[in-house]
Structure 1
Amino acid sequence: MSGLTERIAAAKAKGRRLVEDWRVRRPWLDHLIRTAQRYELQSGNRLAGAVTYFAFLSFFPLIALAFAVLGYVLSNDQNAIDALTQAIDDQFPGFAEQLDINGIAQAKATAGIIGLLGLLYAGLGAVDALRGALREMSMTTTPPLNFFLGKLRDLVSLILLGLTILASVAVSGFATQATTTVVSFLNLDATGFNTGGLFLAGLAAGLAADWLIFVIVLGWVAPPVGPFRYVARGALLGAIGFGLLKQLAGLLLSHTLGNPLYGTFAVIVGLLLWINFSARLVLYVAAWTATAGLSPPPAPSPIPSSGSPEDEPSKNGAPPGQTGGSSAA
């Protein structure tokens, strides 16, 4: 039994040495390991849960306020409202069916007031929870802002994030629909090259909007601890992951809609899961950004000699114990 225990311990030690060697030779792997360690050390899942709660509460007032504003701006353009409804349905299948969007747009005054009040409560709470989570991930020692300045900064962050998220959803949703329209408007042949190029252009625009979202989150909501180049790289990584999550949202909501176990709560459950995954992605990116400036572990050093200085060869090549012109007694 003791022999088996010793072999297991030896295998673990060999594995640790192998991982340490890989971390020294491959900085990107060391960075990923430090990111995961920072996320676990700071209880990232618990922080993501707090952000999810307020973000979920603020989602519905945000939708109501957006369509109330559209009710004022596009009151005579039903086609534009239908297009935005389809864009939301493309990103969150089945969600638009649960809302009386035309009713919200027509009752613009009441929906606008309710949406604004709800968004101020839940939205500011979501930004505050996000700011606290980002500070935890960065392990910053900078004291937080006072109450009034903090709420003012949260309000600006909420406005910036709301506008950018709506732009990201709209751009991603319209990318596919606009392809055929642009091809016919420019009198281009509906070949795979033309439609594919326009579709990729729409995806690039959506990626740029998602990158801007993460720049705001990492660089404004909570002041970064490193230079802006780390924020820009982390924002690009987060934008790619967020784009994949938006594609995953369609599959996730389609699965929950077809599962009778969830029933009428299918859209709500799917939306809640998607928000939680997005919050975890944001915190992983924050951990990646916060650990970007740290150095990899040093390479193993040779074991120093235990002999005395007299036992080492002198600089002029004399034997140990002798100097240039004298001999040992």
Structure 2
Amino acid sequence: MRWRRVRTRHRWLDHLVRAGVRFHQVDARRLAAAVSFSAFFAVFALGLLGFAVLGYVVDEPVADQAVQRFLDEHLPRMDTDGLRAARGTAGLIALVSLPVIGLLWVGALRSAIRAVWRVEEYPGRFLIRWLIDLLALAGLGLLLAISLSLAFGAEALLEWLLDTTGTNQRPASGWLLAAARFGLGLAVNLLLSIAVLTALPRLRMTIRRVLPAALLVTGGLELLTSLGRLVVERAQANPAFQLVAGAAGLLVFLVILNQLILYSAALTATATTGPVKDLATGQHLAN
């Protein structure tokens, strides 16, 4: 009885509990594991595409120096000559595999989020659903590209302003740039989180309903990324850990992240703020 009174008094706590119950009822841990399986291979395909793009970017002398500094810091065993040599093969493999694996990942995450909402997981005909998933994958990629471009552009503008005003040598300028990078990164993650929780499962809802859940995903992703950096740094100092830290660490990261996404989906599903429409069926969902 006391617990019920506490939940009644604190509505935010009651909402968290109801979301946890929904998470358990739909067996979201199993769903997250299935999504992580597809995401695991999608990350490798995306990484190949990234290395292929870098392999062409390094033809510019300025970019070559910047990429080499990045490789020296994060991948000391690789250099820009290796990127140039592998860019053709890596790009071909990525372009062939990424759409297929990406579609599997999008389909798995879409069906998992819709399962949390207790609506039809595979709505419509297969071909139409496949095409919509392909558009969703392209849309997420475009949103990521635009968001990162704006973030990098804003950071470059800030650096230019600091150089122009002659304040780039002051200690405060370093803190300002770090804060700007952190804030821009959070903004990019927030936009992607909102898209994953709404556009991917084809659900239309108010920003007031989805924003708390999207903020949870954003904060959780930032925390997981920070912990991942610490693990990678520790693994680099121990050769025995290097053998398994990469793949195993990535898999653990994806499982936790997808569980967080599905719990956030449960938060939106059990919220009572604003209407929700299932764009796949045209039906309005009850709160």
Confirm or deny that 1:199 pairs with 2:182.
no
Confirm or deny that 1:187 pairs with 2:170.
no
Measured after TM superposition, the shift of residue 189 of structure 1 is 5.1
Measured after TM superposition, the shift of residue 43 of structure 1 is 1.2
Query: Is the contact made by 1:140 and 1:225 (CA closer than 8 Å) also made in structure 2?
Result: no
1:9-36 CA-to-partner distances (Å, cap 9, x unmatched) read: xxxxxxxx11100111110000111111
Query: Is the contact made by 1:88 and 1:173 (CA closer than 8 Å) also made in structure 2?
Result: no
Confirm or deny that 1:77 pairs with 2:74.
no
In structure 2, the partner of 1:41 is: 25
- Whole-angstrom CA distance in 1 between matches of 2:157 and 2:245: 30
- Whole-angstrom CA distance in 2 between matches of 1:226 and 1:98: 47
Amino acid of the structure 2 residue aligned with 1:47: L
Query: Is the contact made by 2:39 and 2:105 (CA closer than 8 Å) also made in structure 1?
Result: yes
Stretches of structure 1 that go unaligned for 5 or more consecutive residues are 1-16, 296-329
2:11 pairs with one of 27, 32, 38: 27
TM-score, with structure 1 as normaliser: 0.71
Count of aligned pairs: 274
1:38-80 CA-to-partner distances (Å, cap 9, x unmatched) read: 11111111111111111111111111112323434x2422543
Amino acid of the structure 2 residue aligned with 1:248: L
- Whole-angstrom CA distance in 1 between matches of 2:201 and 2:53: 29
Matched ranges for 1:123-272 at <5 A: 123-141=102-120, 144-164=123-143, 183-184=162-163, 186-188=165-167, 190-224=169-203, 226-258=205-237, 262-272=241-251
In structure 1, the partner of 2:281 is: none
- The 3 A distance-change label for structure 1 pair 270 and 260 is same
Confirm or deny that 1:68 pairs with 2:52.
yes
Query: Is the contact made by 1:58 and 1:126 (CA closer than 8 Å) also made in structure 2?
Result: yes
Amino acid of the structure 2 residue aligned with 1:62: L
- The 3 A distance-change label for structure 1 pair 171 and 37 is farther
Query: Is the contact made by 2:111 and 2:121 (CA closer than 8 Å) also made in structure 1?
Result: no
In structure 2, the partner of 1:313 is: none
1:154-181 CA-to-partner distances (Å, cap 9, x unmatched) read: 2222233345557778999999999888
- Whole-angstrom CA distance in 2 between matches of 1:241 and 1:89: 28
Query: Is the contact made by 2:68 and 2:79 (CA closer than 8 Å) also made in structure 1?
Result: no
Moved more, 159-168 or 37-46: 159-168
Query: Is the contact made by 2:221 and 2:257 (CA closer than 8 Å) also made in structure 1?
Result: yes
Measured after TM superposition, the shift of residue 141 of structure 1 is 4.8
Query: Is the contact made by 1:168 and 1:206 (CA closer than 8 Å) also made in structure 2?
Result: no
1:116 pairs with one of 95, 104, 117: 95
- Whole-angstrom CA distance in 1 between matches of 2:239 and 2:43: 25
- Whole-angstrom CA distance in 1 between matches of 2:233 and 2:76: 13
- Whole-angstrom CA distance in 2 between matches of 1:170 and 1:217: 20
In structure 1, the partner of 2:272 is: 293
Say which SS state the counterpart of residue 76 (structure 1) adopts.
coil
In structure 1, the partner of 2:285 is: none
1:137-156 CA-to-partner distances (Å, cap 9, x unmatched) read: 11125861321122122222
- The 3 A distance-change label for structure 1 pair 268 and 174 is farther
Say which SS state the counterpart of residue 221 (structure 1) adopts.
coil
Say which structure is richer in helix: 2
- The 3 A distance-change label for structure 1 pair 237 and 43 is same
1:196-246 CA-to-partner distances (Å, cap 9, x unmatched) read: 222212111111100111111011110226434312332222212211221
- Whole-angstrom CA distance in 2 between matches of 1:167 and 1:105: 26
- The 3 A distance-change label for structure 1 pair 88 and 233 is farther
Amino acid of the structure 1 residue aligned with 2:60: D
Say which SS state the counterpart of residue 49 (structure 1) adopts.
helix
Query: Is the contact made by 2:112 and 2:262 (CA closer than 8 Å) also made in structure 1?
Result: yes
In structure 2, the partner of 1:307 is: none
Amino acid of the structure 2 residue aligned with 1:187: G
- Whole-angstrom CA distance in 1 between matches of 2:177 and 2:136: 32
- The 3 A distance-change label for structure 1 pair 256 and 41 is farther
TM-score, with structure 2 as normaliser: 0.80
- The 3 A distance-change label for structure 1 pair 28 and 142 is same
Stretches of structure 2 that go unaligned for 5 or more consecutive residues are 275-287
Query: Is the contact made by 2:54 and 2:83 (CA closer than 8 Å) also made in structure 1?
Result: no
Q: Highest Rg: 1 or 2?
A: 1
Query: Is the contact made by 1:61 and 1:115 (CA closer than 8 Å) also made in structure 2?
Result: yes
Amino acid of the structure 2 residue aligned with 1:41: Q
